[in-house]
Amino acid sequence: MITVDCSDAKPIKDKLLIFVADRLGVMPILKSDKFVLTSLDDSQTVKKSVVLAAIEEFLESKKLTEDIQVIPKDDVIIIKPHEGKELKENSEQKKELFFECTHCGFMTLYEEELRTHKLIHYI
């Protein structure tokens, strides 16, 4: 399991999570400012070098390589802006927050859809 700490890069956390998990075919586990990448099959492991390559590819696609540094430490990868740089949340990024069901982990971009989904747990 590899943990990606985005506590200093919250504006890009959600898009980074989607990109890396899709690229590597791994299961992400969401935490408040971090996400953990684990393989779908217990016989395989998630390699840090592959995760780092996917993160770099994401940063290049968003033209953020000059603004963000990636710091690998053991099984943790820290994403944070360079000294003096600041990541700002724009309105598009604010809209793309995940809403997660506390009962089963169902995730959606829409709060109303989550409310409707939660009703199935109380039937």
pLDDT at 91 over 50: no
Q: How far is CA 122 from the centre of its chain?
A: 30
pLDDT class for 93, splitting at 50, 70, 90?
very low
pLDDT digits (tens, 9 = 90+) for 5-29: 999 988 899 899 999 999 998 999 8
Looking at residue 104, its pLDDT comes to 86
pLDDT digits (tens, 9 = 90+) for 107-121: 888 888 999 999 888
The DSSP element (H or E) to which 69 belongs, if any, is: strand 68-73
- Please say whether the beta carbons of 6 and 12 come within 8 A: yes
Looking at residue 88, its pLDDT comes to 62
pLDDT class for 43, splitting at 50, 70, 90?
confident
pLDDT class for 35, splitting at 50, 70, 90?
very high
